[in-house]
Structure 1
Amino acid sequence: MKLRLLIVDDSEDDVFLLVRTLKSGGIELEYRHVETALELMQALKSSSWDMVITDHNMVGFTSKEALQVVRKFSEDLPVIIVSGEIGEDVAVNAMYQGAQDYIMKDNLARLIPVIHREVKLNADRKAKRDAEESLQYLAYHDSLTDLVNRAEFERCLDHAVQMAKLEKQSSILMFLDLDQFKLVNDTCGHVAGDELLVKITRLLKLHTRETDTLARLGGDEFGILLNHCRKQEAVTTAERIRSEVQDCRFVWQDKPFNITISIGMAEITDQLQNHHELLSCADIACYVSKDKGRNNITWYNPNDNEFHQRRAEMQWAPKIKRAAEDDKFVLFHQPMANLQQDLGPHWEFLVRLKDDQDLVPPGAFIPAAERYNLMPIIDRWVVKHVFHFLQHSGLGYKDQGTYFINLSGSTLSDGSFFEDVKRLQEASGLLPERICFEITETAAIANLVDAVQFIEDIREKGFKFALDDFGVGLSSFSYLKTIPVDYLKIDGSFVKRMLSDPIDRGIVEACNQIGHAAGLQTIAEFVEDEATMDALRNVGVNFAQGFGIAKPGPLPTLWLDNPSDSPSPQHNANT
């Protein structure tokens, strides 16, 4: 044990005796001897010490005063009083004021165990203090990048909003989102993703001033609060960041990635209420940057209709999450007509959102769900409740017919969705062939690899699959060779004009013929009258769907069970 000891004593002989006692007790010692308050202060300033041992009565100086000097520099540094004469009441009072112990000079043998004890206790105190300081630091900082975290950044933003109201200060919020982070994370793993975030953090630090606040807001999102900054200066900074990130090549295990960043900017004005509104403005601007093709900078404009639309979509996001959690979605269904032979009931399940006493149509909330990657939540809710309805309706639906459930492209990329479907099917006892999942042609093509893999897996389990809106893509027929499905739903834009436009009729006939050549059943959408239905029957289309057959409506009222009792996985139906 090596001890760095500061000795406060006005007697050279007593110091010599003290040092000899400690060394003979096996303590390796580095010490400094001081006699006055000034020397003590200088010693505490110039070096760090493990312990202070002080005499009680010195010329013009007491242990009480020595203790006060030490405590100005450190609350934790152990102080032991060694004295030839000290009253018990004085000693007890000294310990009350912060001394660790007192020892009589005629009993120095007791000093060795006391020192060992205090060194250990001080180490424990330091470890506890370090842990508390670390927890305190992590409460305000991101553990990966060491940047300010979201909670602390929001506090800084609120302060900036208040300053804008009080002092008319010009400050700017910059919201930054990496464009390729998910690609790096998914293909190379989280370690690579973390390394990319650290690399971008270093780059962003080069472009922030001491007066600015740089934060990681979560995932691949960063925020920069540019205090006392004019708009043009902020735009220049943003452009430098965008340009340098674009030039930044990220290589992981010999795989190169071109990285870009989308930036949204908003001015902090006295019109803003709080950080929530401010972050929303910058976030909306960032999404517009992504819509423009990514690698862009967008300045929030409160008078632009595009920003109003984005704001409306953002307000839907928390409502969608709550609706799934609180069962505020409602199932509707739309029957189809058998045109060639009776193959039992064919329905498409649809979804509405209950907002107070109103039922919100999907066109109001589905775009927001797609933008904010919430479609898997809705899709899971629909699958769960459809399975429960078919199992418990008491109307025999589980034993006949085919029932269609819409899926989004993002759901097909959700690795756990297929397992959730299997788990629900097994729990319900429903025959897989009763269910036909469907996805639009454009969504399937946009997610082709995931779509084909999911369709193959789901059909192998016994479920069916339909390709919706078929015919709108320029390469519809060629993709039909790639995407394995059971039904083709011919896009309604051709069907509703087939009696008046020979080209549309030709497209309907071609889609039907190709579908039958591939061994598929065909369904015509947007059938609005009897004449169109007769024409489709003559063409050979198998099923018709549209307002001319039945409008979407509530499920049969005999279903009284509560679907919340069924097994819950994690989570569309559209029109």
Structure 2
Amino acid sequence: MIDTTSPLRMLIVEDSEDDALLLLREMRKGGIAPYHELVDSEDRLTYALRRGKWDIVITDHNMPGFSSFRVLELTKKYCTDLPVIIVSGTIGEGVAVTAMKAGAQDYIMKDNLSRLIPAIDREVREGFMRQAKRVAETTLEHMAYYDSLTDLVNRREFERRLVQALEDTHNTGRQHVLLYLDLDQFKIVNDTCGHVAGDHLLKQIAGLLSHQIRSDDTLARLGGDEFGVLLRGCDILHAQKVAEKLCEEVREYRFVWQSRPFSVSLSIGMVLIDDHYNSAGELLSHADLACYAAKDRGRNNVQLYETNDVEMQQRQSDMNWTSRIQQALQNDSFCLWQQEMVALQPGSTDGYRTEFLVRLTEGDETIPPGAFIPAAERFNLMTKIDRKVIQLAFQYLDRTGLGRRETGTFFINLSGSSFNEPELFLYISQLAERYKLKPGRICFEITETSAIANLNVTQRFISAAKRRGFKFALDDFGAGMSSFSYLKALPVDYLKIDGGFVRNLLEDPIDLAIVDACNRIGHATGLKTVAEFVENDDVKSRLVELGLDYAQGYGISKPRPLD
């Protein structure tokens, strides 16, 4: 039945006031007292449809100057889902069928109004259902093309428009420009004030940017704190001005959250859309590279993608490596090699020593770490690689039983970023317990530059691990200008002297003096010293004379697969 808690809003199209009163009297007999409006011309009908919110239209068929067919046309034009019932005394069967095909929901003869109430009840309910369905469809369609937070075009729709712009460039030669925007300092707001504050910032930035572009351009949220702008029919000079204006507007904007002000800025990468490009993906990739270059060059600036830019070429190579590294982690494509060390002084009883070295396998190719580690460090993947190396090393020490012997030391490299991961030490401890390994058989290496970059964190990590029984080595020692002053602050067991000094110590007296000094300082602090990059017997013999404890390098043993 019709909801009687709110009055039915009925539009009556009728040139006879008496007939309209008969309709209303019939409805009141059925317990319905609708709010209604009576119109008798096309102009008044149009006005009523455009300004009112109606539940149903009841119309006569023949009226001076127009008919129910015109009523159906206008209703469909202005109120798509509004039901129309024809109530007439003269309509024939054929006309009625035609009217139903044209969109009328029902027709009723004026001399038999017994079906009026049931028909109104049915059609109002179905009208509501049609309207609700249309709203749901419209909402879903909007969600498919627009970002739910900012109401900007989403990435999928933006890429579609990029494809259209690219096709236009190929067909007409017109120039368009793509801007890739990244919001600097967004992580600070998100981390210190929470995601609600971050969402408010993104919405406000979206509104700020929207006012700076033309109506036929496109502003989109590409994800996270990244936005895209498609400038249609635009050359590089104009695009540069637009991009700089966007940077200026955001730089001068102050975001305030709970009385705390924050300054934000934009880094923008710019790409000219020309016929050298064949896909939206390629355009976005190059714009992203240019945006990263803007960040690397100080943030709050605009960088144009240029194919001959060395930094951008390097970043593109790194980004390609990123996907390969992530795939390798998923496919267990990393493996370990080893490189042995030898004791240089007689009487050493500490047993076998070797360093685990990570490699990446792709098909029949084995890729050395120098090819992928720089990309992994740049894109924060080293912690995942370190975990994989630790897992592979511990599995090997368990499988061979070497990790449970009384002597022998196995060196595993850790990146500086891993020391900042709170869960890493727990991961190492649990893995060692699972495989029943002796912590004293394992020595973690960290480079001197990584160690002193975040000295407090490094100290805490090493101290906790040493209490558990693990050992530590400071790698590439001597490369930093403050090596000796930092040495007392780091409770390590081994000092691995940077190979750059060791390699040429026979020809360069300064390198010889540095190696000698590092060895003496190491021994004075109770550490064992290891010379890296020992490439021949002559260098080895000189290191024996200097009193170093161990040597490692191609002149001692070349790296080889574990198995």
The TM-score, its normalising length taken from structure 1, stands at 0.85
The equivalent residue for 2:201 is 196
The equivalent residue for 1:291 is 296
Matches within 5 A, 1:303-452: 303-340=308-345, 341-392=348-399, 394=400, 396-399=402-405, 401-452=408-459
Q: What one-letter code is carried by the residue in structure 2 that aligns with 1:530?
A: D
Q: 1:467 aligned to 474, 494, 501, which one?
A: 474
Cα distance in 2 for partners of 1:107, 1:439 equals 95
Q: 2:559 aligned to 531, 552, 569, which one?
A: 552
- How many residue pairs get aligned? The number is 555
- 1:513-572 CA distances to partner (integer Å, 9 max, x unpaired)? 44445444433221223343344445444332211221111112xxxxxxxxxxxxxxxx
Kept in 2: contact 1:321–1:377 (CA 8 A): no
Cα distance in 2 for partners of 1:51, 1:454 equals 74
Stretches of structure 1 lacking an aligned partner (at least 5 in a row): 557-575
Distance 1:296 1:10, change over 3 A: closer
- 1:96-149 CA distances to partner (integer Å, 9 max, x unpaired)? 654445556577576556545544444443333323222222222222222222
Matches within 5 A, 1:184-333: 184-253=189-258, 255-333=260-338
Cα distance in 1 for partners of 2:293, 2:404 equals 45
Cα distance in 1 for partners of 2:313, 2:83 equals 63
Cα distance in 2 for partners of 1:422, 1:20 equals 86
Range that drifts further, 515-524 or 355-364 = 515-524
Tell me the secondary structure at the aligned position of residue 75 of structure 1. coil
Kept in 1: contact 2:268–2:294 (CA 8 A): yes
Cα distance in 2 for partners of 1:275, 1:124 equals 40
The equivalent residue for 2:38 is 33
Displacement after TM superposition at 1:17 (Å): 3.0
Cα distance in 2 for partners of 1:476, 1:303 equals 38
Tell me the secondary structure at the aligned position of residue 34 of structure 2. strand
The equivalent residue for 1:156 is 161
Cα distance in 1 for partners of 2:131, 2:463 equals 60
Q: What one-letter code is carried by the residue in structure 1 that aligns with 2:179?
A: M
Q: What one-letter code is carried by the residue in structure 2 that aligns with 1:333?
A: Q
Q: 2:183 aligned to 178, 195, 215, which one?
A: 178
Displacement after TM superposition at 1:323 (Å): 1.7
Q: What one-letter code is carried by the residue in structure 2 that aligns with 1:33?
A: L
Distance 1:126 1:336, change over 3 A: farther
- 1:134-188 CA distances to partner (integer Å, 9 max, x unpaired)? 2222222222222222222222222222222221212222222233223333333
Displacement after TM superposition at 1:45 (Å): 2.9
Q: What one-letter code is carried by the residue in structure 2 that aligns with 1:503?
A: I
The equivalent residue for 1:146 is 151
Kept in 2: contact 1:9–1:54 (CA 8 A): yes
Cα distance in 1 for partners of 2:191, 2:280 equals 32
Tell me the secondary structure at the aligned position of residue 336 of structure 1. strand
Q: Quote the sequence identity (%).
A: 55
Q: What one-letter code is carried by the residue in structure 1 that aligns with 2:173?
A: K
Q: What one-letter code is carried by the residue in structure 2 that aligns with 1:170?
A: Q
Kept in 2: contact 1:411–1:417 (CA 8 A): yes
The equivalent residue for 2:532 is 525
The equivalent residue for 1:45 is 50
Stretches of structure 2 lacking an aligned partner (at least 5 in a row): 1-5
Cα distance in 2 for partners of 1:113, 1:425 equals 78
Displacement after TM superposition at 1:95 (Å): 5.5
Q: What one-letter code is carried by the residue in structure 2 that aligns with 1:497?
A: N
Displacement after TM superposition at 1:474 (Å): 2.0
Tell me the secondary structure at the aligned position of residue 329 of structure 2. helix
Cα distance in 1 for partners of 2:300, 2:180 equals 13
